[in-house]
Amino acid sequence: MGLESYLFYVKFDEEVSELELDQLLISIGLNPVKKVGKKLSDFRSYYYELITEKGIIEAHCLFSPDNKMGESFYLRFSICSPVEVIDQTFMLLDNLNSKQSIRVKDTEIYNHYCRRARQEGKVDASFKGLTKSEDQIIHDQSYIPIDPNEFKKNKLGIMKRNVLLQDDGNKAIVRGDSETFLYLEKKSLIQKFMGWITKEL
């Protein structure tokens, strides 16, 4: 999950079992794609997605060996997605929150603050240098309301949000990772894309 995706970390207020988490994600419209690892002694990964004309939302949760309880999962979509994917994502999150209380962390806010700290010389190129308490403050500031309108305001000027919110005729129903990069390459947009992103790097 890299530059081509917008990534959220979703944390439950209370732990849920492996089965409960699977059922919750299915109940809000995410479809199971695959499961890796079968035994309790294995690492177990669950993958889900929701495909509509508004975009593709992907989810991933991980359970460590011998652990039957989980507290979080990741949700993402390609930044080449139609802008409507934002409303679709927040509707999904709101639905989940009505069933099981959650908090949503925007990982791009965390990255934004870390890049600012790097520009100020507080951390090195790999973002090392913050104290534990400073890092925790940034994590806490990265949680967002489950509100698509607030997300669209983009008060921090996060470049990935700007790219996502642009209605430039280059939107597509694609997954993250290689699908997005193949699409950008096909449309001869790789250099333009990297130019957008490196403005914030």
Closest to 160 (Cα-Cα) out of 189, 187, 197 = 197
Cβ atoms < 10 Å from Cβ of 115: 14
pLDDT interval class at 135 (50, 70, 90): confident
Name the region of 84 (left: φ>0; alpha: ψ -120 to 50; beta: rest).
alpha
Q: Is the pLDDT of residue 1 over 50?
A: no
What's the rounded mean pLDDT across residues 179-198?
Answer: 71
Q: What pLDDT is stored for residue 121 in this prediction? A: 82
Q: How far apart are CA 189 and CA 175, in angstroms?
A: 16
When the pLDDT of each residue in the chain is averaged and rounded to a whole number, the result is 89
Least confident of 25-39, 45-59, 156-170: 156-170
Alpha carbons 137 and 35: distance in angstroms, whole number: 34
Domains identified in the chain, total number: 1
CA dist 81 to 140, 181, 184, Å?
Answer: 28, 13, 12
**Measured CA distances, 132 to 129, 135, 136, 139, 197 (Å):** 9, 5, 6, 11, 28
What is the per-residue pLDDT for 181?
A: 78
Band the pLDDT of 38: cuts 50, 70, 90.
confident
Domain of 33 in residue numbering reads as: 5-198
Place of tokens 């008060």: 155
81 within 8 A of 16, measured Cβ to Cβ:
no
Q: What is the pLDDT of residue 201?
A: 53
Mean pLDDT of 26-38: 95
pLDDT band at 195 (very low <50, low <70, confident <90, very high): low
